[in-house]
Amino acid sequence: MVLLALLANLPAAHAVDGFTLELGHGDDENVDRYGLAIQWEWDRKWFAAGDWYLGGFWELGVSHWHGDGDRTGNDDLTEVGITPVFRLQPHDATVGGLLPFFEFGVGAHLLSDLSIGDKRFGTSFNFGTHAGGGARFGSRRQYELLYRFQHLSNASIREPNPGINFHLVQLKYWY
């Protein structure tokens, strides 16, 4: 129900503010991950009185997971996720024109299969939590490079709930 309320408040597709390419690797399985995402920035800023503020964006992404073929489960699966991302960043650029930031998010993710390699998930629906940091750069701060650590699991909705962790590098372009 909460997910439906969040999805109902998404902006129109024509208002896309950013585009992302993503590469990553699972830290407890031999799983590579490749993804694309689009973002919609929020017009809201919290705690903006000092040098830093809290803002954010919606992120809608799709990724392909490719596992080691020597395992018992599937070698590939597809994931689709929607995540509200909160970002702490300064109002102005710092040394060298970089705009550093830290971010965190919790979203809903659907998997196309219940297994990858030897890992078996109890349900296709999972929660994704992430934390990361990076910097925006360029003449309009239109480019962004960041690292994310992401954990996906079903929060014990159904067993088994092994979860999976990813180390991700993203390159974003903001329109």
pLDDT, residue 75, reads: 86
Where do the domains of the chain lie?
20-174
Please count the helices (runs of H) and the strands (runs of E) in the chain: 1, 10
Beta strand residue intervals within 46-142, DSSP E: 52-67, 76-90, 99-111, 115-116, 119-120, 125-137
Under 8 Å CB-to-CB from 158, ≥6 apart: which residues? 122, 123
pLDDT, residue 14, reads: 55
Ramachandran class of 69: left when φ > 0, alpha when ψ lies in -120 to 50, beta otherwise: alpha
Q: Which of the 8 DSSP states describes residue 11?
A: P
Whether the per-residue pLDDT at 24 is higher than 80: the answer is yes
**Cα Rg, the chain, nearest whole Å:** 17
Total length of the chain: 175
pLDDT, residue 175, reads: 93
Mean pLDDT of 86-109: 91
Q: How confident is the model at residue 69 (pLDDT cuts 50, 70, 90)?
A: low
CATH fold of 20-174, please?
Porin (2.40.160)
Higher pLDDT, 54 or 95: 54
Mean pLDDT score across all residues of the chain: 89
Whether the per-residue pLDDT at 33 is higher than 90: the answer is yes
Q: Which of the 8 DSSP states describes residue 96?
A: G
Nearest-angstrom CA–CA distance, 129 and 95: 30
Nearest-angstrom CA–CA distance, 65 and 33: 5
Nearest by Cα to 26 from 73, 72, 64, 80: 64
Distances (CA, A) of 47 to 43, 80, 86: 14, 31, 12
Mean pLDDT of 73-98: 89
Q: How confident is the model at residue 2 (pLDDT cuts 50, 70, 90)?
A: very low
Whether the per-residue pLDDT at 10 is higher than 60: the answer is no
Q: How confident is the model at residue 67 (pLDDT cuts 50, 70, 90)?
A: confident
pLDDT, residue 130, reads: 98
